[in-house]
Amino acid sequence: MSRKKKILSPTYTELIIPTYKALFELGGSGNNSEICDKVIELMDLSDEIVDEAHLGSANQSELEYQLAWARTYLKNYGVIERSARSVWSIASDYTVGDVELNPKEVIAFTVSKNAAKRKAENELETEEVDDIEMDSVDENDIPDENKPWRQKLSEVLINMDPYGFERLSKRVLRECGFTQVEVTKKSGDGGIDGTGKLRINGIFSFNVAFQCKRYKGLVGAGDIRDFRGSLTTDIEKGVFITTGSFSKAARDEASNPGKQQIDLIDGDDFIDKLAEYGIGVKPITTYDIDEEFFEKI
């Protein structure tokens, strides 16, 4: 079978062990961003690798794509679990930290399970695990962040009217707890597209400014510096929202300890919020049939 174009990022097979080790070093649990950052640290990945875009995706890097599959295979194998709030944790049988995992065995477990479902085991027996196409994976096993509906919604957001996207961002921020949210009359005025107040526990409040960037690709460190430079002295927090993603340099710049911190919301984060609050999207319920259950009852 033909191989895909060579990518710079480690493959999901190569990320099985680093993902497990990352969670262990994070204290046994972590979200997608924390796991990704820890894997980058453990594998000492270059900016070029970290910033490599996944083909056909406007808001996901190749590394994030491969990590999503690595987490899925680990979950199916029983090594890690995911909570309702998308926090990953190491399963109790694997918390000791010195468990030896064979990445190909971890992946083959899911492949065999799906082959049995399709009654097509003979089609996969002669294939190497590394050569198995993603299309051979059962639809229910596709990582949430790689679901087709997310890609479609990403394209919809990118093609929105810029003022409409600002208004949508305003609504999302309100759902997140912001008040007095206002969109500036002139788009891009001073690098600030809107302002609001974030109230915490009904007591503490912060003046916040946000910038919205409909973008297909990476937002760079220069964009973060320009946005920070536009913040006035009465602004206590900045939020940068994009339909794309942020380069490693941009994330480093945003969290530079010697400068005003900028919170980042990339395309995946924004889609998560739209889904969480049911803004423009509706869930569709489906069921995975446990055939083994009916055979053994």
- Please calculate the CA angle 117-121-124 and round it to the nearest 5 degrees: 120
Residue 279's SS3 state is coil
Q: List, for residues 180-230, the tens digit of each pLDDT value.
A: 888 875 554 457 888 999 877 777 788 999 998 888 888 999 999 999 999
Domain ranges of the chain: 12-146, 156-277
The CA-atom distances, in angstroms, between 128 and each of 1, 105, 107, 124, 224 are 10, 12, 11, 8, 44
Residue range 156-277, CATH number: 3.40.1350.10
Q: pLDDT category, 55, cuts 50, 70, 90?
A: confident
pLDDT of residue 222: 93
**Which residue, chain included where needed, has tokens 């998308």?**
86
Residue 236 tokens read as 């206590």
Beta bridge partners of 63: none
The span from the first CA to the last CA of the chain, in angstroms, equals: 40
pLDDT of residue 20: 95
Residue 42 burial by Cβ neighbours in a 10 Å radius (0-12, 13-18, 19+): middle
Least confident of 92-96, 126-130, 221-225, 271-275: 126-130
Beta-carbon neighbour count of residue 23 at 10 Å? 26
Residue 173 has pLDDT above 60, yes or no: yes
The amino acid occupying position 231 is L
Least confident of 52-61, 129-138, 150-159, 250-259: 129-138
Give the integer Cα–Cα distance in Å for 187 and 222: 19
Q: What is the mean pLDDT of residues 146-167?
A: 87
Give the integer Cα–Cα distance in Å for 13 and 107: 8
Q: Residue 151: what are its φ and ψ, rounded to 5°?
A: -65, -40
Residue 241 has pLDDT above 90, yes or no: yes
Residue 78 has pLDDT above 50, yes or no: yes
pTM, to two decimals: 0.74
How many helices and strands in the chain, by DSSP H and E? 12, 10
Task: Report DSSP state, residue 2.
Answer: P
Give the HSE-up count for residue 229: Cα atoms under 13 Å, Cβ half-sphere: 6
Give the integer Cα–Cα distance in Å for 222 and 60: 20
Residue 222's SS3 state is helix
Give the integer Cα–Cα distance in Å for 164 and 177: 20
